[in-house]
Structure formats: structure tokens, C-alpha cells
Structure 1
């Protein structure tokens, strides 16, 4: 079972409560405001700030 991209409309960043974008290539949910990428592991989004990675300068643009 793959991550249901329809969920993207109801999921929010746990830090700022803003919109998340799906990066299918890296299997991550991206918060452009906080510059964080939340992993999707085994088709389940891990929306914990401690598990998120900071986006690089290149990824922010």
C-alpha cells in the first residue's frame, strides 16, 4: 500500500500548522515555511519535529 496523496489536504505541519507538500521522489512531506522535511516510513508520515530534517539552501528554492 502506498501513501495516499489525498491525505495531503488534511495533514498540516506540526510546528506552524501550515500546508505540507509531497515529495514523492524522496518520500517526504515538506514544510516550505519552516524549511523542514518529514519522512514517510512504510507509507506512514512521521510528523514529529525531532524526526524532521532541515532543508538545504538548494532545496529551499
Structure 2
């Protein structure tokens, strides 16, 4: 997955409104402040708070 840089620049964490970074595998977006990962499925970021996974519990896409 490679999200467009312009899209990454405008996406924000729904919890804190902070910036997001792609996971190393590119299968999620990490909020460094909240320590959660929002999954990316079929190149679409799932930016729902109830879909966020704790960064320590993130196992990536299966």
C-alpha cells in the first residue's frame, strides 16, 4: 500500500487530530501521540475510532 503523500498530509487521527504515519508494512496508519493504528484495507484508510488497534497489539493485515 502506498498512500498518496497529499492524502497523508490531510489525514488526522480522529482522537487527537494529530498527524499519522504509515506502518512499516504499509497496512495501517499510526498515531504516534495516541499509540493506535488505523487499518488500511484495499488501499482505503479505516479512520473509525472503534476500528483503531493499540500499537502494541497491532499484528497487521492478514
TM-score band, normalised by shorter chain: 0.7 to 0.9
Q: Runs of 5+ in structure 2 lacking a partner? A: 58-62
How many residue pairs get aligned? The number is: 57
Runs (4 or more) in structure 1 with deviation over 3 Å come to: none
**Residues 23-51 of structure 1, C-alpha deviation per residue, up to 9 Å, x if partnerless?**
15051000011010000011100001100
Indicate conservation of the 8 Å contact 2:13/2:19, yes or no.
Answer: yes
Give the structure-1-normalised TM-score: 0.79
RMSD (Å), alpha carbons: 2.1
Residue 5 of structure 1 and its aligned partner are, at CA, apart by 3.7
Residue 50 of structure 1 is matched in structure 2 by: 50
Give the structure-2-normalised TM-score: 0.78
Q: Runs of 5+ in structure 1 lacking a partner? A: none
